[in-house]
Structure 1
Amino acid sequence: MDNAREFKSPKLEGACSIHGITPKWRPIGRKHYGGHIERLIGTMMTSHVQFLPGTTMSNVIARGKIESEKDAVLTISEFTKWFAGEVEIYNYKEHSALRCPPSEMWEKSFTSPTGLITQPTIITDPFKFRLDFMPEKRRQIHPVGVKLFLRKYWSPELKNLIGMRNVVIKYDPYALYTVWARVGKEYIELHFSDLTHEDFSYEEYLIEGATKRLSKPRTMRPGTVLIRDKNEEIVEEAKKTTKKSKKNEQAIKAYAKHTLNQHFGSQKISIGNPSSDIDFSKAPDIYEIEDE
């Protein structure tokens, strides 16, 4: 397996442990370990999936003017059935590299030179094996049953288990009418408490929840609106005060820098006292100047 998160989840590793399966992951940075799988995915995408109405193609440039959401016609459930059919067709169609159908090569790999067929390990309980690898939730068992996917599930076998917490509930994403509670090593089958509810998928459950959230009215009582407006005024006033304070601080720093650049100092310049031997009370002496 590659190193995707879903292949390293505790749930998957737990299910593998139950059935004696040892997970092996592709070495990081060694893409050639999964080359045959990557090639198969590429073949299925370019030769099959990208011809479906609503395809998004491999990138925006390849998609061009295709309106994927407008053209799409298959639900996830329908697409799953279609894809399973395409895989079966691929399995019984001659492969260009193998020069025979993949199904035939599979049979050869389990056939000895003497013609003896050795089958892989057979799963004794296929349904339980499938359940072990299904997605799961953990819930408490209430007097009304198990609450899950906006529904209530019940079975008479839950009567003696009311109050039990952290119970593993397995579910099939494509059919939520039935879920299974794991108690010990066994599974208890649960169905809708309200038998008038129709079966639905996990995809439809997500859509239902999103629709309810979008359609929920969003109203405020008048008092709440006034408080919100007052809070906005507080924030705006704080912005103005902070802005003014920052401007004053910048002005002080600019003035200090200007003063420093002009070499203004705090030292005083001392001026000498006039000579005391001059008598300013006497008239000045007048000298005659000869013309040349």
Structure 2
Amino acid sequence: MTRQQAERAGRLLGLHSSTVYKLRRRFLRHPVTSAVAPMSRGPKMGNKRLDPNSEQVIQEVLKEWLPCQRRLAHPLLDLTLEVRRRCLLAGLKPPGRNTVARRWAEYREAQAAALADAPSAAVAPGTFSAATPLDIVQIDHTQADVIVVDDWFRRPLGRPWLSVAIDLATRCVMGIYLSMDRPNAATVALLLSRVALPKAAWLDSLELEPQEQEVSWPMHGLPKALHLDNAAEFHGRALRMGCAQYGVELMYRPVGRPQFGGHVERMNRTLMERLRGLPGATGNSPKGRKARRPEQEAVLTLAEFERWLAVEVAQRYHHSEHRGLAGATPASAWQAMAQVHPPRQLPPGPEEAMQFLVQFMPMAQRIVQSYGLSLFNIRYWHPIFAAWRELRRKVVVRYHPEDLSRVFVSAGGRRYIEVGYADVRRPRISLWEQRAACRHLRAEGQRQLSEALIFKAIEQQRRIVDSARQATRVAQRQVPRKEAVPLGPWSPTPAPPAAELDYSQTPDPFPVEIWDSPWPKTA
């Protein structure tokens, strides 16, 4: 192209001759019409005009701060405020809300692209599985859709918490645990003990009816990996150390992705569907719950509900056809796979079982003093402390929140010894009672808490409860019966009421201390 040709083309196109040469070079490199389209002005796509330091702050908030937040009412607003706060602390000009929104969208797109390129993306969703028994055991907690009543007056207590462990390879339920308290580290310890230990002793403790004596639950063993969500009780130091002791790997689901635990979530749904026919069932939705009034229909105690669950899982679920097993039953799948790949077992004996349970209990570190050791303002003593206190050894203390009358102490972290109160006259108490007594004493102005004050407050509270229970029983006995309503002129005259007896002088028909329950509540 000569100079005259370039100038003539420029006059026709309204461009400078040098621009004509640029368009010609672009067209020769890529001979399509879009190559000579007018070039857009301004920054090119992908270029960022934000200050690099502010850009780094946004990326830190997206990668470090945002994944740690569980529930945000207004995610974009909270994200913008956090970026603005950090920029002001660093002396930077904070970016606008639209800029933060664009960076957030780019971050989510990058995450989606990385997930699509991952090797696991080649596997279809819902195909997370295991090849042999106890390769992967999923654990989850849920609040049961049924209201239970107390053992004494059959009054509603509320909905219990149900913890379930399921084996992915055979779909067998490895263990269940029921409690009225929210799941904690002790809940996980007791559930894992039922997973790893034989369940015969636990089934015997349920006091099944004669027609239910054939309940068999042979599934047990040490899992190779635990698949967990991100609840606080699954991130405790006791669980990590216990799993490291027995060679159990911990696997966590992505935050806010319940579908990654689909097996145990589906198991919970199956059990909740079976609860709909029980008296006191609440349903899985609060809609219409007030009209149903499940509190008035509730009749099952916590022990009776646990017995019902044991029969439901061991006799019904384990022997029902499972779609995920191509029509086989979980019990038959366990029997077939366990013969080829036997699961790991703990050494037999009650001592090994207790040591396993202790390894997963909540823990604390203490130094043995001249008086022994102190935990929750309570003194404990063992003759071996006489040797340890000279060395001022730091020991690991494991405790059960439901029973503080004994703890388990280890100087090396391997073998634990059982240690009781320094004052053997003290009654057994729970951690909940101890904390309630401390709150009561502080409310009364007691700044210096001692063991004697704590146990005195607990005994006073127990006496109040016993007096209230006795007064309630007497009041219920003395309620007069309603007289019969005459049905017509031919109705017989009702008999005169019998003379009232003074039931307050009769012996107490319930001479049982309710605080005296067997511990631990496990096999």
Same fold (TM over 0.5): yes
CA deviation after TM superposition for structure 1 residue 90, in Å: 1.1
CA deviation after TM superposition for structure 1 residue 17, in Å: 1.4
Q: In structure 2, what is the equivalent of residue 133 of structure 1? A: 360
Q: Deviations over 1:76-100 (max 9, x none)?
A: xx84895476245412324353667
1:212 equivalent to 2:441? Answer: yes
1:164 equivalent to 2:389? Answer: no
In 2, are the aligned partners of 1:50 and 1:57 still within 8 Å (CA)?
no
Give the SS at the match of 1:209. helix
Q: Which amino acid aligns with 1:5?
A: A
Give the SS at the match of 1:196. coil
Q: In structure 2, what is the equivalent of residue 119 of structure 1? A: 342
Q: Which amino acid aligns with 1:170?
A: R
Cα distance change of structure 1 residues 217 and 10 upon mapping to structure 2, 3 Å threshold: closer
Distance 1:72 1:201 in 2: 27
1:109 equivalent to 2:337? Answer: yes
Distance 1:195 1:72 in 2: 40
Q: Choose the corresponding residue for 2:309, options 86, 105, 109.
A: 86
Q: Choose the corresponding residue for 1:197, options 414, 426, 429.
A: 426
Q: In structure 2, what is the equivalent of residue 284 of structure 1? A: none
Cα distance change of structure 1 residues 152 and 104 upon mapping to structure 2, 3 Å threshold: farther
Cα distance change of structure 1 residues 81 and 130 upon mapping to structure 2, 3 Å threshold: farther
Cα distance change of structure 1 residues 87 and 126 upon mapping to structure 2, 3 Å threshold: same
For residues 175-254 of structure 1, the aligned pairs below 5 Å read 175-184=403-412, 185-214=414-443, 216-217=444-445
Q: Choose the corresponding residue for 1:64, options 290, 306, 310.
A: 290
Cα distance change of structure 1 residues 62 and 7 upon mapping to structure 2, 3 Å threshold: farther
Query: Identical aligned pairs, as a percentage?
Result: 26
Q: In structure 2, what is the equivalent of residue 7 of structure 1? A: 234
Distance 1:88 1:15 in 2: 30
Give the alignment's Cα RMSD to 1 decimal: 3.7
Q: In structure 1, what is the equivalent of residue 320 of structure 2? A: 95
List runs of 5+ in structure 2 lacking aligned partners: 1-227, 447-523
Give the SS at the match of 1:189. strand
Give the SS at the match of 1:122. coil
Cα distance change of structure 1 residues 72 and 199 upon mapping to structure 2, 3 Å threshold: farther
In 2, are the aligned partners of 1:157 and 1:188 still within 8 Å (CA)?
no
Cα distance change of structure 1 residues 198 and 27 upon mapping to structure 2, 3 Å threshold: same
In 1, are the aligned partners of 2:358 and 2:398 still within 8 Å (CA)?
yes
Distance 2:283 2:441 in 1: 32
In 2, are the aligned partners of 1:145 and 1:155 still within 8 Å (CA)?
yes
Give the SS at the match of 1:110. helix
Distance 1:206 1:63 in 2: 34
Q: Deviations over 1:231-251 (max 9, x none)?
A: xxxxxxxxxxxxxxxxxxxxx
CA deviation after TM superposition for structure 1 residue 120, in Å: 0.8
Give the SS at the match of 2:356. helix
CA deviation after TM superposition for structure 1 residue 201, in Å: 2.5
Cα distance change of structure 1 residues 95 and 121 upon mapping to structure 2, 3 Å threshold: same
Q: Give the count of matched residue pairs.
A: 207
Give the SS at the match of 1:64. helix
CA deviation after TM superposition for structure 1 residue 153, in Å: 1.2
Cα distance change of structure 1 residues 27 and 217 upon mapping to structure 2, 3 Å threshold: closer
In 2, are the aligned partners of 1:131 and 1:170 still within 8 Å (CA)?
yes
Give the SS at the match of 1:171. strand
TM-score by length of 2: 0.34
Q: Deviations over 1:217-236 (max 9, x none)?
A: 59xxxxxxxxxxxxxxxxxx
Q: Deviations over 1:16-66 (max 9, x none)?
A: 11212221222445533311211222344454499686x887565454376
In 1, are the aligned partners of 2:393 and 2:411 still within 8 Å (CA)?
no
Give the SS at the match of 1:130. helix
Distance 2:278 2:439 in 1: 30
Cα distance change of structure 1 residues 132 and 41 upon mapping to structure 2, 3 Å threshold: same
Give the SS at the match of 2:374. strand
Distance 2:289 2:386 in 1: 55
Q: Which amino acid aligns with 1:95?
A: S
Give the SS at the match of 2:384. helix
CA deviation after TM superposition for structure 1 residue 103, in Å: 4.0
Distance 1:73 1:176 in 2: 31
